[in-house]
Each structure stands twice: as C-alpha cells, then as structure tokens.
Amino acid sequence: MLDLKLVERDFDSVKVKLAKKGVDEALLNRLNSLFAQLKEAKRAFEEKRSQQKSLSKMFGAYKAEGKDVGELKEQLDSLKSEIVSLEESAQRVEQQLQELALTIPNIPDDGVPEGESEDDNVELKRVLTPKEFPFEPKEHWELAQINGWIDFERGVKLAKSRFALLMSEAAKLERALINFFLDFNVQKGFAEVCPPVLSNSKMLLGTGQLPKFEDDLFKIEGEDLYLIPTAEVPLTNIYNDEILQESQLPQLLTAYTPCFRKEAGSAGRDTRGIIRQHQFDKVEMVAITHPEKSDEVFEMMVQNASDILSALGLPHRLVDLCGGDLGFSAARTIDLEVWLPGQNRYREISSVSNMRDFQARRAKIRFKDGKKNSFVHTLNGSALAVGRTLIAIMENYQNEDGAIDIPEVLKPYMNRRV
C-alpha cells in the first residue's frame, strides 16, 4: 500500500509519478477527495468533542453548586448523539479511503523508463550469443511431438485447455531443473523453504494480488483459501504482521512450488505449446531487507538469475520495464528474456522486482530501527520459471533430426555422465 501520509502531503507529485503507470486521474482525484472528507469529518468530530468536554466540566460545576442541570443534560445528550454519528461518518470515510488505496499501484522509481507497453521497455544488455543453426530450428511443440516429451491432448482431457502432461525425459528434465535452481540459489545464500501452495486472503492482500487481481486466482470453494499464483505470496508473508530485528536482515529465501493462474487477461495469447499455462512450476527468490540495502540486493538477484541462464548456456538479455509495463506492486522491474531460436525472438523467463515498502505496509512487515519500528523493503524474482527454461533448452539444444541434447550442468541431475 502507498504511504497515505506521503500521498496526502505531496499529492501532485505522486499523481505525476503514478501517471507513468497509467493510473486513471479520476481514481487519484477520488482519493484526494476522500482525504478532504476525512479531514473535515475529523475536524467536526473534534469540535463536538471539545464542546462536550466544556459542557461536562460546566455540568460538574453546576451540580456541585446545586444549580439546575436539566438544560445542560439535554445539550450533553444531544452532543453525545452527534458525536457518535460524526465518529461513524469518519470511520466510513476512512474505510472507503483504505479500500480505494488498496487498488492503487506502487509508485515507480524515478529512473523507470517512460512508456505505455512492452514495446517501450529498454534493453540493458545481452548475455551470450545465440547459436547459428545450419538448419531451420523447430519450435518446442514440434520438438515435443518428435521426442514424445509433451502430451497436449491428454493434458486437456485431464483438466482443460492450457494444461499439459510432461512425459518421460521432459518430466525428468523438469525435476532436474528444479533441483539445479534450488542448489544454485542456496549456494548464493538463499535459505530453502517448502511452503504451502494454498494461501488465505490476508496473505494475498499483503503481497498485492487481492483485491485487484482476484479474477486471475483459483479460489477453493467454501474456504478462505486460494491456490498461489507464485511462491512470492507465502515467502514474503512468512513475516506478515511481525517485527524483525535489524540484525536479522536481509532474509533471503528460495522455494520451488507449482503456481496457478487463470490467465484471465491473456485470451488468445500463446495458445500453442506451454509458454502460458494455468499450472506451471517455478523456483522463486524473495528478499526482505533493510531499505538502505534493497538496491544492492536487487542487483544481486538480477545477476543470480542471469548466472543461472549462463550456466545453462542459454543466451538472454536484461530489459528495464517501462512504467506502463510495470507490475502493480513493483517500483522497478528488470525482466530476463531468453532466446528461443524456434520463435526467433527473446521471451520473458524471469522478472526481478523491487517493491520498496509497498508490500511491507500491506503485510505490516517491520524491523526494529533503533528505538522505532520501520517498514522493510521486499523483493522477488524467478530463478527460474521451470517450464520456460525447459522450452529454451529444447529449442537451443536441438539437433537437425529433432533430438535434444542436455546441458552439461544438468547431466548429474539426470544420472548421466558429464
């Protein structure tokens, strides 16, 4: 959640910054109007409370002196009723303000590029040179058919569209990638966690999936539980409504989980293959850190994801997301896009984001900063999306006959000789 005191104090500046994310001006004006209403409601309440205190004092004095207090009592009774009404009015406005604030995205960092869509994102650098094939490289769904790696039809039969079965070597490679990613992250200093894949609404509110993105979530009927869209949700919320000691920071966490998304806003996109699925595997990195260290941790996390791709021999590039393509909770995001020769283009395989104190305010994650409590900064990123890494290996390590080689670093995980 935004720092509402900052928004109220510096409304015009915040409005300009949020325009970079394409936030509706009318929404922000509504927020500003609620600030004014709440201020007036509190002023009226305090004014009546002040009158009540003066009359109560007078009432006591009159009673001690034996004077008639009938008229004063009527005034006090009337004031009491007015005060209750004004207090309820102020509470309603404050609730409206809080509910509206939960739908407003994080303020982008000053250095975030201007732009409206992914077309305006800024490439930062490329890592490794794509291989030149002496033949026309195939896309992953063609390779899947040749090798019997992915059964699309039976995946749909078992569930519905955007589900698939990984078979034989593909299933084994998926498991190898998960273990490789976790080991890599642990060696970097991340603590491995095995969290629940169900979270309640309070946790999803804390990380920003609720209330805005409820249509993208799979809800358990009759329960206050949802299938997680990413391990960011349970990992970040481990310290929900807790106060950490400064010495405990940073908390670096990693986890493998299946992830579940309805992909409500992606109708017609990537319908072939397994680029965009309702269920997919991902290894996540989460950091909970001191605000002064969050930029340093952010760079480390981006480099870690890049190093994993390099270890796999996968060409990729780093892209700085523009304001219009920035996620709801993010202040800054760098995407890592892997080269897919079958598609002859780079595709997103990881997003590393610094949320600043946006999630920490929602989830009430604080640390003891001297004598006061301050909000931590939270960060998250994929290291990596497993299915998309599988696709990248299939396309980058394919042979002319459709056979697929295995990257050297993964052979021990697949019980093969290096």
The whole model's pTM is what?
Answer: 0.91
pLDDT tens across 268-299, in order?
666 688 999 999 999 999 999 999 999 999 99
**pLDDT of the residue at 269:** 64
**pLDDT of the residue at 324:** 96
CA distance 238 to 363: 10
List of the chain residues with pLDDT < 50: 418
**pLDDT of the residue at 417:** 54
* Cβ contacts of 346 within 8 Å, gap of 6 or more: 316, 317, 337, 338, 339, 340
pLDDT tens across 5-46, in order?
999 999 999 999 999 999 999 999 999 999 999 999 999 988
Note whether 395 and 139 are within 8 A (CB): yes
Token output for 289:
């850190």
**pLDDT of the residue at 76:** 81
Here the contacts of 208-213 (C-beta below 8 Å, separation 24 or greater) are: 208/106, 208/328, 208/329, 208/355, 208/358, 208/359, 208/362, 209/233, 211/102, 211/103, 212/102, 212/103, 212/328, 213/328
Tokens 């994929």 found at:
382
Burial category of 418 from C-beta neighbours within 10 Å (exposed 0-12, middle 13-18, buried 19 and up) = exposed
Residues that are catalytic: 261, 276, 348, 351, 388
**pLDDT of the residue at 418:** 45
